[in-house]
């Protein structure tokens, strides 16, 4: 009896559509990361790339619990001396809500070249409109 290891898949990406409307950020990101890594599927192999992509809509309707809207800070560095920029979650949710979800999901992906390829298959949009109708995304429910 041998152990089955899935091979890295090539070719077509299976796109799945997730709606972030009313979801709590951390729980939503954890379940989305499971889909991107392939852990939600029975043939999961850690080193293999599963050809699944996520399209997330309604990013502006994501929820943060507690006092995270004011206390949670997002930091980025411009590359210049003294170029550390901090933005609160409330301000980022008003201006660029896609960045909040992307940061949460990418933080749960592997920190390697494989994780970088997974992050490229993550598309986040603030509203309900997205330009990926031609890929035929399947609606995905994250209810357990």
- Secondary structure string (H, E, C) spanning 108-119: CCCCCHHHHHHH
Query: Which pLDDT tens digit goes with each residue over 37-81?
Result: 988 888 888 888 888 899 999 999 999 999 999 999 999 999 999
Whole-angstrom distance, CA of residue 79 vs CA of residue 94: 25
pLDDT tens, residue by residue, 25-41: 999 999 999 999 988 88
Q: What's the rounded Cα separation, in Å, for the pair 77 and 79? A: 6
Pairing of strands 122-124, 84-88: unpaired
Which run of H or E residues covers position 65?
none
Q: Which residue has the higher pLDDT, 104 or 142?
A: 104
Global pTM reads 0.90
Write down the residue that tokens 């609606």 correspond to.
Answer: 139
Candidates 120, 117, 139, 131; CA nearest to 20 is: 139
Place of tokens 């994501």: 62
Q: Superfamily for 14-139? A: Ribosomal protein L13 (3.90.1180.10)
Instruction: State which H helix or E strand residue 77 sits in.
Output: strand 73-77
Structure-derived torsion over alpha carbons of residues 78, 83, 84, 88, reported in degrees to the nearest 10: -80
């Amino acid at each position: 009896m041998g152990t089955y290891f899935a091979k890295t898949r090539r070719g077509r990406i299976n796109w799945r559509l997730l709606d972030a409307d009313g979801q709590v950020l951390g729980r939503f990101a954890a379940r989305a990361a499971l889909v991107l890594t392939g852990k939600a599927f029975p043939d999961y192999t850690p080193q293999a790339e599963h050809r699944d992509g996520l399209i997330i809509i309604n990013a502006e309707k994501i929820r943060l619990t507690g006092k995270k809207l004011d206390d949670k800070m997002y930091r980025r560095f411009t590359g210049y001396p003294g170029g550390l920029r901090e933005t609160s979650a409330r301000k980022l949710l008003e201006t660029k809500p896609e960045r909040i979800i992307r940061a949460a999901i990418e933080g749960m992906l592997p920190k390697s070249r494989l994780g970088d390829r997974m992050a490229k298959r993550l598309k986040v949009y603030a509203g309900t409109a997205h330009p990926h109708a031609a890929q035929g995304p399947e609606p995905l429910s994250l209810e357990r």
